[in-house]
Amino acid sequence: MLDLSPVATDALGRALTGALLLARLLEKNLKNQAVTLRFEGDGPLGVVIAEGNIGGGARGYVSNRVPDAPMLDVGRAIGRGILSVVRGTPPHGRLYTSQIALEGGGVAKELTRYLATSEQIASAVLLGVLNRREGVAAAGGIIIQAFPHAGEASIAAIEKRITEAPPLSTLIEKMPIEAVVAQLLHGIDYKQIDERFNVPLSYTCPCTRSRALAPLQLFSPEELQDMISQGGSEVTCEFCGRKYSFTREDLLALTATGEA
Ligand SMILES: [Zn+2]
């Protein structure tokens, strides 16, 4: 759909999983909690955007889908820069934005740091994408949040398990995510988030024809006249690839409202 290179797929798959998990984790009885992660690093992928909501819908975007250096790991492919985390309750709720520095350690590490510094949540974030030549075979993620009263010994025990465990991408291929959690945290006191919050996940883009038209209003009358003389314009949604074509008449209507 988005024609991503393997490293872009890895990065976006992890970022989408992270956005979905954060939407659930940061939910404070807000039924529409949505989270947007915006990675603006100096790596070859350029800007990576992932949106997820508590209903299980997600969409994403990578500005440089096929970078020249295809073998880079995700951390270096995103690079150093700024991670913005925007949370809110669309369509009307206020938006809250926090920013942290991207340190080039990969999506899971950056999100762990975001949770610790901006949300004061001590956690471990694990994300995995299993890429096969024919496409993504599996993607998933786990956030382990320490109880407020958790002792240093139990946190250290969990950290040890996580560092010694095989990569998440290979585990999620073999077993459901609940089984991965059970294996990772075997013998450790833990509580899984209420199963009533299980939701089906889907790649959904809320783009519409009128939203696709909106950015064209930012063009100057001269630029719009250019498009009109060329017989119209086509806008491709960067999140889902859907194409919207606008006729001369559509654009003429736009110049008319611009003057009003
Ligand atoms: Zn779209």
DSSP string, 57-80: EEEEEESSSS-S-TT--HHHHH-E
Between 15 and 94, the more confident residue is 15
Tell how far the Cα of 86 is from the centroid of ligand 1, in angstroms.
19
pLDDT at site 91? 78
Mean pLDDT of 179-193: 87
Tell how far the Cα of 168 is from the centroid of ligand 1, in angstroms.
30
Tell how far the Cα of 237 is from the centroid of ligand 1, in angstroms.
5
Q: What are the structural domains, with CATH classification, of the chain? A: 6-203 (3.55.30.10), 209-259 (3.90.1280.10)
Tell how far the Cα of 60 is from the centroid of ligand 1, in angstroms.
10
Mean pLDDT of the chain: 89
Tell how far the Cα of 245 is from the centroid of ligand 1, in angstroms.
13
Tell how far the Cα of 164 is from the centroid of ligand 1, in angstroms.
40
Tell how far the Cα of 136 is from the centroid of ligand 1, in angstroms.
21
SS3 199: coil
Q: Which of 27-36, 176-185, 228-237 has the lowest mean pLDDT?
A: 27-36
Tell how far the Cα of 139 is from the centroid of ligand 1, in angstroms.
22
Residue 21's pLDDT band (boundaries 50, 70, 90)?
very high
pLDDT at site 217? 84
pLDDT of 46 over the 90 cut: yes
The alpha-helical segments, DSSP class H, found in the chain are 6-25, 74-78, 107-118, 152-164, 168-174, 177-184, 209-213, 221-229, 248-259
Mean pLDDT of 67-96: 88
pLDDT at site 1? 62
**Cα–Cα distance measured from residue 120 to residue 115, given in angstroms and rounded to the nearest whole number:** 6
Tell how far the Cα of 242 is from the centroid of ligand 1, in angstroms.
6
Residue 77's pLDDT band (boundaries 50, 70, 90)?
very high
pLDDT at site 118? 93
Tell how far the Cα of 13 is from the centroid of ligand 1, in angstroms.
17
Q: Using only C-alpha atoms, what is the Rg of the chain?
A: 21
Query: Residue type at 127?
Result: L
pTM as predicted? 0.89
Tell how far the Cα of 206 is from the centroid of ligand 1, in angstroms.
6
Tell how far the Cα of 205 is from the centroid of ligand 1, in angstroms.
5
Beta-bridge partners for 41: 81
pLDDT at site 260? 42
Residue 189's pLDDT band (boundaries 50, 70, 90)?
confident
pLDDT in tens, 28-44: 776 789 999 999 999 99
Between 9 and 191, the more confident residue is 9
Tell how far the Cα of 38 is from the centroid of ligand 1, in angstroms.
17
Mean pLDDT of 40-56: 95
Tell how far the Cα of 209 is from the centroid of ligand 1, in angstroms.
9
pLDDT of 202 over the 90 cut: yes
Between 85 and 29, the more confident residue is 85
Tell how far the Cα of 241 is from the centroid of ligand 1, in angstroms.
6
Tell how far the Cα of 28 is from the centroid of ligand 1, in angstroms.
28
Mean pLDDT of 162-182: 91
pLDDT of 258 over the 60 cut: no
pLDDT at site 257? 61
Tell how far the Cα of 123 is from the centroid of ligand 1, in angstroms.
33
pLDDT at site 71? 67
